[in-house]
Structure 1
Amino acid sequence: MGLFGFGRKKHRDEVEEQPADELDQTEAAGVDGEVDKDPENQGDHPSFSGEVSGSYEGRGEDRGPWDIKDEDLPDYDEYLDMGAFYLPFLKGIELRIGADKTRQEVRSCTISYGSSSLELEAFAAPKSMGLWDDVREELLHKDGASEVEGVFGTEVRMPVSVKGGKTVVTRIVAVDGPRWMLRGIFTGKAATNPNSPETEALNGYFADIVVDRGEEPLAPHDLIPMHPPVSPAERKAAAEAVDGDGSNEESGAASIPDKPTGPFDSDQEVEVKTTLSRGPMFSEVR
């Protein structure tokens, strides 16, 4: 088993590539969040050495989330391509896809790990400034929301009502990059227990994500377009097909099926779809 930890290069021979299917059109199945407890199968957790602080200065230097144009970003050849960002692999996680009900456009994704989860969205931002200060100020007007210092700078803790009348505590973090903001909403132990192994693992996971803002014009706060998961094997095949046609394209991105164009309205209603992991790579959509 291989785990691509924070800021480390991946070893290609540790990964078995398997193609991903198309995004399912059926209702979501449940996600059990089971984690392999066998120490021999766990590998190392992503190491994240960030200290609790009111600011986060390390992005793009020796820690992420990374921009696809950063000089020292990790090798992401074996990451799962979601369009707006590339997701690393972590043993035991499951991936849930949020899709537009009518258009079947992918709009968000949620990583489940043990009893914790991490919902991810990437937004376009102005060239001259980030979004997180303004977004955080808006969140603080919600009932029960408060600011805390965390490993990604100033974070927001906020109670959220869920089905069944229950209230769960969320931990909302965001990091500003070049013309983008990556937001993560943590729940479970990763939101309430800073010393939990689940917190350490998902912090490291968030810090290892590679964001691809793209060059298309997007207004600030627009969601950066996403597409159904594309596996490393599919990206490689698309790139080889482009090369075989004698194109000068640098990658096979233009050949990715169902790749949407933006901008998206972040207030559109979404429907949860499910992608389950199988073996050493995100590989199956049911």
Structure 2
Amino acid sequence: MGLFGFGKKKHQREDQPAERVDEDRKAAEAANAAARADSAIAETADAAGAEAAYAGRGEERGPWDVADEAVPDYDDYLDLGSYYLPYLQGLELRVKANRATRAVIGSTITYRGSSLEIEAYAAPKTLGLWDDVRADLLKANEAATEREGTFGTELMLPVQVRGGKTVITRIVGVDGPRWMLRGIFSGVAANDPDAEETHALDQYFSDIVVERGEEPLAPRDLIPMHPPVAPAERKAARAATEAEAEGASGKEHLKDVPERPQGPLSQDQETQVKTTLSRGPMFSEVR
């Protein structure tokens, strides 16, 4: 035993001064206190991250689902099939369509010096889709960065436009029941968080009401849309349906009201199609 020095080390420990023992104890206590402090900081950071998430959707804020208890009255909204758009004075609407089939696949709102592109996607029943979509965008675009914003974690993405100019876009995503609504902000609403039009378009996006429908769709499929239907047309169609149930006839005036298409929509060969809005004075007409 003495050959390996075990007895000597034990003897040295027993002969250590009380001051050295006390110093070791204080050092250990300091290390434990530092570890507890680091743990508390981590827990605080986690809590801050949770608070930064876009919580309260469907209860205190939108975008809304048609089945939410607190959903606003959207009778006067513009119906595009997968979602209903509110009105905003001075706003212009462009409908995005498939070049080959003319099927509607999205819309773009223009307000003063800003624009907002809106698309609704099918999502899994149990898990949200925005985290996965955001991760894919980050992986595909080295210049993309994350930040906390109005709608939780958002993406800032530089995009090169015609003429070689680079502009910053702000991409947001909100998960709802079996859907995800994505908004792409550009112009002032992407660069100046304190601007009036930024607040106006953030509120506009929050006021959108989504209708997922019951058709089977794979995650990331675009939810079927149709050309815009004004509130008066929708009310007339509803009245005609009620009249038909009562045995009335004569629905020729409703022949132009589009039906919601079935199945997922193709995103290939997209083109911008300007839409004339003959009703809804809160929209500027685009011809």
TM (norm. structure 2) is 0.76
Q: Is the 8 A contact 1:94 1:275 kept in 2?
A: no
> Cα 1:257–1:247, aligned 2, differ >3 Å: closer, same or farther?
farther
Cα offset, 1:185, TM superposition: 0.2
Structure 1: which amino acid aligns with 2:188?
A: K
Measure the CA separation in 2 of the matches of 1:201 and 1:254.
36
Measure the CA separation in 1 of the matches of 2:67 and 2:161.
38
> Cα 1:205–1:223, aligned 2, differ >3 Å: closer, same or farther?
same
Cα offset, 1:167, TM superposition: 1.2
Residue by residue over 1:217-249, the C-alpha shift from the partner in whole angstroms, topping out at 9 and shown as x without a partner, is 00000000110000000001111111111179x
Measure the CA separation in 2 of the matches of 1:91 and 1:285.
14
Cα offset, 1:152, TM superposition: 0.4
Cα offset, 1:280, TM superposition: 2.0
Residue by residue over 1:178-227, the C-alpha shift from the partner in whole angstroms, topping out at 9 and shown as x without a partner, is 00000000000100100000100000000000000000000000000110
Structure 1: gaps of 5 or more residues: 1-51
Structure 1: which amino acid aligns with 2:263?
A: G
Count of equivalent residues: 231
Cα offset, 1:256, TM superposition: 4.0
Report the 3-state secondary structure (helix = DSSP H, G, I; strand = E; otherwise coil) of the residue aligned with 1:102: coil
Q: Structure 1 segments of 4 or more deviating over 6 A?
A: 252-255
Q: Is the 8 A contact 1:53 1:154 kept in 2?
A: no
> Cα 1:152–1:234, aligned 2, differ >3 Å: closer, same or farther?
same
Give the alignment of 1:203-218 within 5 angstroms.
Answer: 203-218=202-217
Give yes or no for the alignment of 1:89 onto 2:90.
no
Residue by residue over 1:6-54, the C-alpha shift from the partner in whole angstroms, topping out at 9 and shown as x without a partner, is xxxxxxxxxxxxxxxxxxxxxxxxxxxxxxxxxxxxxxxxxxxxxx963
Measure the CA separation in 2 of the matches of 1:285 and 1:241.
29
Q: Is the 8 A contact 2:229 2:258 kept in 1?
A: no
Measure the CA separation in 1 of the matches of 2:92 and 2:222.
23
Measure the CA separation in 1 of the matches of 2:286 and 2:194.
32
Give the alignment of 1:169-248 within 5 angstroms.
Answer: 169-246=168-245
Structure 2: gaps of 5 or more residues: 1-49
Q: Is the 8 A contact 1:85 1:212 kept in 2?
A: yes
> Cα 1:164–1:257, aligned 2, differ >3 Å: closer, same or farther?
same
Q: Is the 8 A contact 2:98 2:266 kept in 1?
A: no
| Number of the residue aligned with 2:8 | none
Q: Report the structure, 1 or 2, having the larger helix content.
A: 2
| Number of the residue aligned with 2:77 | 79
| Number of the residue aligned with 2:119 | 121
Structure 1: which amino acid aligns with 2:212?
A: R
> Cα 1:116–1:276, aligned 2, differ >3 Å: closer, same or farther?
farther
| Number of the residue aligned with 1:130 | 128
Cα offset, 1:116, TM superposition: 0.3
Report the 3-state secondary structure (helix = DSSP H, G, I; strand = E; otherwise coil) of the residue aligned with 2:275: strand
Report the 3-state secondary structure (helix = DSSP H, G, I; strand = E; otherwise coil) of the residue aligned with 1:156: strand
Structure 2: which amino acid aligns with 1:262?
A: G
Q: Is the 8 A contact 1:60 1:70 kept in 2?
A: yes
> Cα 1:184–1:122, aligned 2, differ >3 Å: closer, same or farther?
same
Measure the CA separation in 2 of the matches of 1:53 and 1:192.
23
| Number of the residue aligned with 1:34 | none
Task: Point out the structure with max Rg over C-alpha.
Answer: 2
| Number of the residue aligned with 1:273 | 273
> Cα 1:131–1:222, aligned 2, differ >3 Å: closer, same or farther?
same
Measure the CA separation in 2 of the matches of 1:108 and 1:77.
21
Report the 3-state secondary structure (helix = DSSP H, G, I; strand = E; otherwise coil) of the residue aligned with 1:134: helix
Among 103, 106, 109, the alignment partner of 1:105 is 103
| Number of the residue aligned with 1:257 | 258
> Cα 1:180–1:265, aligned 2, differ >3 Å: closer, same or farther?
same
